[in-house]
Structure 1
Amino acid sequence: MARARLNSGNDVTDELPKTKINKASLTNVGKLLQYLKPYRFKFALGLFFLCLSSVALLAFPALLGGMVDAAQGKQSLTFIPANIKAIGTIAFIILAFQSFVSFFRIRLFVEVAEKTLADIRRDTYFNLITLPMDFFANRRVGELNSRLSADLSQIQDTMTTTFAEMIRQAILLVGGVCFLFLVSIKLTLLNLSILPLIVVTAVFFGKFIRNLSRKAQDKLAESNTIVQETLQGISNVKAFVNEAYEANRYQNSLKSVVQLALKGASYRGLFASFILFCIFGAVVSVIWYGSSLIAHGDLSVGNLTTYIISSLFVAGSMGSFPELYANVQKSVGATERVIELLEEHREAVSIHQEENEIKQKIYGDLAFEHVKFAYPSRKEITVLKDISFHANAGEKVAIVGPSGTGKSTLASLILGFYHPQEGAILFDGKNADQYKLTDIRNQVAIVPQDVLLFGGSIRENIAYGKLEASPEEVIEAAKRANAHHFIMGFPEGYDTLVGERGVKLSGGQRQRIAIARALLKDPAILILDEATSSLDSESERLVQNALEELMKNRTSIIIAHRLSTIREAHRIVVIEKGKVVECGTHNELIQHETGLYRYLSQLQQEHVGN
């Protein structure tokens, strides 16, 4: 799980988790690197420019040291002239060259990274929207959005910055150490004798401090949870007069945070003091020992200057590797999560519109034969145990029953969101498996209880039922759905933006937009999933009239809560505990004195009477 990290303010951001780098994780990285293939030439050219830039940087310590010696009329290194003007000219030429290659290196790396990431984002999103419904039932939208944003951004940072910086620092480290040996073997051996002590201490101290920091973050997250829970349930807190209890609970949590923070600060202070002592001790030792070498004529002032500057390069390179490696670990973890999405099993649908055109027409005959179903994420709970019913083409068949009996599950099975474990669903007498999934969904429409509209215009939302629809077709569908009048009441008419999830429209208006969308689709089979159950009387009347228009000349499966809306159905199927317990017309079922339908009908009449 991503761990919360508190910034300097009150902001809490999610830090991407780090993953251990092993054979399996490197295999995933290799899969993602396949996206680099189309741009491999530019990537190789960028690497070449990066190497040139890094090598050019290594020349500056030698040139600056040579300049110091040249000022004293000496020559520090044989390949550097003993002339200040010549050295200065060479330094500016190398500087100009480095600036030139650095520009192209950055330009090429960013281009390759952006194009590669765009390809990965595209394929990840395309794969995501073709995954089955069960995949989305087990994941939060925020988590999936994070994979498309945070994870891919981390990979992008690594490709554009971290990877290049690691190569640069590796060249500076190796080249710098070699150059240090070339300048003075004695000084280099002195430095290397101190290095193991610093590295070992840094590794053990660093791990210990990170664990303390993690515990402090966990405690802080706990205290933030207390605040969130208290404010969300503030009415309960006040109703039970528990303000003092909550204040005490939060104060105790904060004390734990402070104690851990102070403990961490003590160890960090010790560690920082030790590292500072070692670093400056090494500098003093080098200058001290170097000065004695100069006094004995074994080293020039310019060579000592070169050595000190090169040492800073090497120290900087070594110091940058832990952070760079941590970024690589985050990227490896991000890569694993992205690869997991890319390798999920897709539905048999295409992202190309022409491949989803109707190949096999459905005329509207629908039958369930001994269907048994349990959701893949809850296999131990059988939702539908033995469902059988038949709807002839053009008939209205209502599905009723108590809450939780699997009525809405039937809609998901008809649309092919899930597949039954036993039994069969037949369209025009053929098993659903004999049809392409897109053929079924293209010829089945649903008007749900909670209509989801996209954040565009009313016109775009209606046209979602038929993307190539003309403006006239959209208006005609809206008129038939009793929506044209209220749409024209808006200043922008059909171009009115509905807001996120359609929040700018009332429930009845959203329902009529959904009905217009379904009318435009002109399906063979229509599913109404409690389409009027949450509306007021006036809105219900308008929506019900629109639904009557929508149900004309097509098979309609009406999942109903209000039994008064289904009296004219050709057949009413009553479901209880996942089984069909009654089936018939309203008049037939109401005659059953001990029947469930009659009992539910009487309950609703009593409720209305009260």
Structure 2
Amino acid sequence: MANERGNLNNSRKSKDERPKVKLSKESLREVLGLYTYLKPYKGKFIASLVFIALSTFSTSLFPLFLGKMIDAVSPGASIPGMGAGNIGNQVGFNLKDIHWSLNTTLLLIFLQLSIQTVFSFMRVYLLTEVGERSLADMRRDVYRKLLSMPMSFFTEKRVGELSNRISSDLSQIQDALSYTLAEMLRGIFTLIIGLAFIFWISTKLALVMLSIVPLIAVLAVLFGKRIRMMSRRAQDQLAESGTIVQETFSGIAVVKAFTNELYEIGRYVKSIYSVVDTAISNARYRGAFISFMIFSVFGAIAFVMWFGARMIQSGQLTIGSLTMFVIFSMFVGGTFAGFADIFSQLQKTLGATQSIREILRSEGEAVELAKEEVEPRFVLQGAVRFENIAFSYPGRKDVPVLKDISLSAANGEQIALVGPSGAGKSTLANLLLRFYEPDSGTLYFDERPAKSFPLSQLRRQMAFVPQDVILFGGTIKENIAYGKPSATEAEIIDAAKKANAHDFIMKFPEKYETIVGERGIKLSGGQRQRIAIARAILKDPAILILDEATSSLDSESEQLVQEALENLMKGRTSFVIAHRLSTVRNADKIVVIDKGIVSEMGTHQQLMSQNGLYRKLNEMQFEFENITQSPQRINTD
């Protein structure tokens, strides 16, 4: 439950409370590093920036034409020229002195809107295409890098956290590429053009407006920041109450067994009422903010209109020009307010960028990502030797798991690894697959050090059948073919037959095209095991690793799986980690691991003739099975 609560809270926080990073040279350099993904699409990217500028400029013409339309019906409307020094007069053209008829102005407005429509469409289309394509390239590289990371990386990271890097962080970067960047540039262009127009219309009125609007914008940002902070707190508390519900229903049997219904109700009520308190407190701020904005915005408009009306009375301004001014002032004010949100989004993007860049810079395993066959010089015969191996997991170096382990397996030999839980059996399997490197000692394959083999070349010749079989959410055929993606249908069916899986597969209506569901949930434990064995048979490995492959099965499933395993182990070097000692009595060599060392080694007969750990484990298990044996077993198939 604690893990579920942590995952839920982490998921919500990563979405709603992405860490913001301060702007600095280093953080900006990180962002610019990701913009290298735009290089393949730089032509379209530059074109999109041009269309942003054109779209912003064409939008700014609308208030101008609207003002000219009003002046067209205002008797005696005229604006004094800008003087001998203005640029318009120098070229024999002054926009202020131009007057159009009502109909001409309307046509110009629709022409402007038509052109703006094209510019806006091209801006959105091009920037979205560039953003999506560059993001897909980025996702590919991040996913490739994650898949190449060593197992130690995955033991330290949560699956939810890694999924979040690919989804939320990259989506945040996508927003920066396709939305935040566009909005920032559009805001800059709007600000420059808007300020130019209001100063062009009336410098005096512009100075009056600029003395008011920035103050309102700053206060709005401060209010907004406080409201967002309290909204996040309410979301935190709501998520906490949701976690209580999830925990309670997941562990409902425990709740009822301990008659703790009242306790859980009290816990939930306390949580939801804390949400109420925060929401009410937030409502006060939101109410004050809305009231302040209504008063400030409308008051500022009224003041600017009053000042402009006085200028109209004195003949310094026309009604149309005042209309233009008010609309441009709204553009400028809105842009000022929008920059706060853009800045906040940029800070979040910097945080997401650092996470992604950290992954891309990480050093992964030297795996071959190209589809290559095993090179002849790296083909394994199957002999394995552990020489004085010692190992501790990276996250707990103070706890030695293996201490001076030495054992060997000849080509085609079946080695059983037995011993108490936590003795180090699965760790040996991890070292065989080179998920980890030993702290000391050497692992040999065919009397060659393991490090002399490229990692992918080595793993291509090994197969692993775990106790908890992981199937992917596709078809049975796809899951078997995972052992050899290029396999023909005949090869897949042959592998299924050898794994005792063909018969139950053919009973499904869709046969090999049956969807197994998430993690193979639609199949029984025995069926999943046989699919995994078929996958291993199809791979045709030189070395096979079985990690308690029959420990959780009923007797009938165990018998079918055991037969399939015997087919799989023929002619291959096999390492069998066994919990049920009865399944490994015929092994060529039984290795007893205890407290990180080899305590005993030999055949079943040899070890049973000694008064050692193996014999004690065997006798204890035999007695336990006799006590717990039930007259009937449920067939999970």
User: TM-score, normalized by length of structure 1?
Assistant: 0.94
Task: Look up the match of 1:393.
Answer: 411
Judging changes above 3 Å, is the alpha-carbon distance between structure 1 residues 240 and 482 closer, same or farther for their aligned structure 2 residues?
A: closer
Task: Look up the match of 2:624.
Answer: 607
Q: How far did residue 544 of structure 1 move?
A: 1.2
The answer to whether 1:14 aligns with 2:15 is yes
- The AA in structure 2 aligned to 1:175 is I
Q: How far did residue 435 of structure 1 move?
A: 0.8
Task: Look up the match of 1:57.
Answer: 59
- The AA in structure 1 aligned to 2:77 is K
Task: Look up the match of 2:146.
Answer: 128
Distance (Å, rounded) in 2 between the aligned partners of 1:499 and 1:231: 24
Aligned to 2:77, which of 74, 77, 86?
74
Give the paired residue count: 605
Deviations 1:111-162 (A, max 9, x none): 2112111111111122222211121222222222222222222222332222
Check conservation: 2:8, 2:243, Cα contact below 8 A. no
Task: Look up the match of 1:569.
Answer: 587
Distance (Å, rounded) in 1 between the aligned partners of 2:280 and 2:493: 68
Aligned to 2:352, which of 331, 334, 339?
334
The answer to whether 1:276 aligns with 2:294 is yes
Q: How far did residue 575 of structure 1 move?
A: 0.6
Aligned pairs (5 A) from 1:377-456 = 377-456=395-474
The answer to whether 1:198 aligns with 2:216 is yes
Task: Look up the match of 2:89.
Answer: none
Q: Which runs of 5+ in 1 are unaligned?
A: none
Task: Look up the match of 2:31.
Answer: 29
Check conservation: 1:4, 1:14, Cα contact below 8 A. no
Q: How far did residue 199 of structure 1 move?
A: 4.1
Secondary structure of 1:305's aligned partner: helix
Aligned pairs (5 A) from 1:516-595 = 516-593=534-611, 595=612
Judging changes above 3 Å, is the alpha-carbon distance between structure 1 residues 469 and 203 closer, same or farther for their aligned structure 2 residues?
A: closer
Distance (Å, rounded) in 2 between the aligned partners of 1:504 and 1:203: 53
CA RMSD of aligned residues (A): 2.3
Q: How far did residue 230 of structure 1 move?
A: 2.7
Check conservation: 1:50, 1:102, Cα contact below 8 A. yes
Distance (Å, rounded) in 2 between the aligned partners of 1:2 and 1:366: 41
Check conservation: 1:74, 1:82, Cα contact below 8 A. no
Distance (Å, rounded) in 2 between the aligned partners of 1:502 and 1:251: 39
Aligned to 1:510, which of 520, 523, 528?
528
Q: How far did residue 388 of structure 1 move?
A: 0.8
Check conservation: 2:14, 2:168, Cα contact below 8 A. no
Q: How far did residue 44 of structure 1 move?
A: 0.7
- The AA in structure 2 aligned to 1:560 is A
Deviations 1:575-594 (A, max 9, x none): 1111111111111111222x
- The AA in structure 2 aligned to 1:14 is K
Distance (Å, rounded) in 1 between the aligned partners of 2:164 and 2:564: 40
Distance (Å, rounded) in 1 between the aligned partners of 2:43 and 2:110: 30
User: TM-score, normalized by length of structure 2?
Assistant: 0.90
Q: How far did residue 96 of structure 1 move?
A: 2.3
Secondary structure of 1:531's aligned partner: coil
Task: Look up the match of 1:263.
Answer: 281
The answer to whether 1:349 aligns with 2:358 is no
Check conservation: 2:430, 2:436, Cα contact below 8 A. yes
Q: How far did residue 251 of structure 1 move?
A: 2.4
Secondary structure of 1:460's aligned partner: helix
Aligned pairs (5 A) from 1:137-148 = 137-148=155-166
Secondary structure of 1:346's aligned partner: coil
Q: How far did residue 355 of structure 1 move?
A: 7.1
Distance (Å, rounded) in 2 between the aligned partners of 1:260 and 1:485: 61
The answer to whether 1:106 aligns with 2:107 is no
Structure 1 runs (4+) deviating above 4 angstroms are: 1-6, 355-359
Judging changes above 3 Å, is the alpha-carbon distance between structure 1 residues 51 and 359 closer, same or farther for their aligned structure 2 residues?
A: farther
Task: Look up the match of 1:365.
Answer: 383
Distance (Å, rounded) in 2 between the aligned partners of 1:13 and 1:120: 19
Distance (Å, rounded) in 1 between the aligned partners of 2:174 and 2:7: 19
Q: How far did residue 33 of structure 1 move?
A: 0.4
Aligned pairs (5 A) from 1:167-316 = 167-316=185-334
Q: How far did residue 100 of structure 1 move?
A: 2.2
Task: Look up the match of 2:133.
Answer: 115
Secondary structure of 1:575's aligned partner: strand
Distance (Å, rounded) in 1 between the aligned partners of 2:279 and 2:516: 49
Secondary structure of 2:15's aligned partner: strand
Secondary structure of 2:389's aligned partner: strand
Check conservation: 2:72, 2:100, Cα contact below 8 A. yes
Distance (Å, rounded) in 2 between the aligned partners of 1:523 and 1:340: 36
Task: Look up the match of 2:490.
Answer: 472
Secondary structure of 1:14's aligned partner: helix
Deviations 1:330-364 (A, max 9, x none): 22222222222222212111221027656511111
Q: How far did residue 32 of structure 1 move?
A: 0.8
